[in-house]
Amino acid sequence: MTLKDAAFAVRKNAYAPYSNFLVGAALRTTAGNTYVGCNVENVAYPEGTCAEAGAIAAMVAAGEQELAEVYVVADSPTPVPPCGGCRQKLKEFGAGAVKVTLGTLDGLEHETTIADLLPGAFDADHMARS
């Protein structure tokens, strides 16, 4: 199964009763394993958790910590970029050159990288004097 297929499939499992905006994400690790996530909303936090964060949590729970590629899909007119928090999470677990493909149900795709999604990202080098 491709990352695109995995993201499309898991998107259907999203829990979004407030926004009805379903998002699916799939990632591949440098070890070649695939993990998926979908957005989950709740009444106290209607924005919910993001699909990318769910996929990263599954990856970390499985004992892996290095991204090789990411695919995110939503039913939107144009490809939707990850939120700021997810961009930082992607940066935490992936090199700047890691490919991130953003897609729509209509087949539009935008390929980018983690570095392009989060220029000037905070990382451990900023704490060198600590």
Please tell me which residue in 41, 52, 92, 109 is annotated as part of the active site. Answer: 52
52 is catalytic: yes
The CB-based long-range contact list for 57-64 (8 Å cut-off, 24+ gap) reads 59/27, 59/29, 59/33, 59/35, 59/93, 60/93, 62/33, 62/35, 64/29, 64/31, 64/33, 64/35
CB-count burial class (<10 Å; 0-12, 13-18, 19+) for 11 = buried
Active site positions, annotated: 52
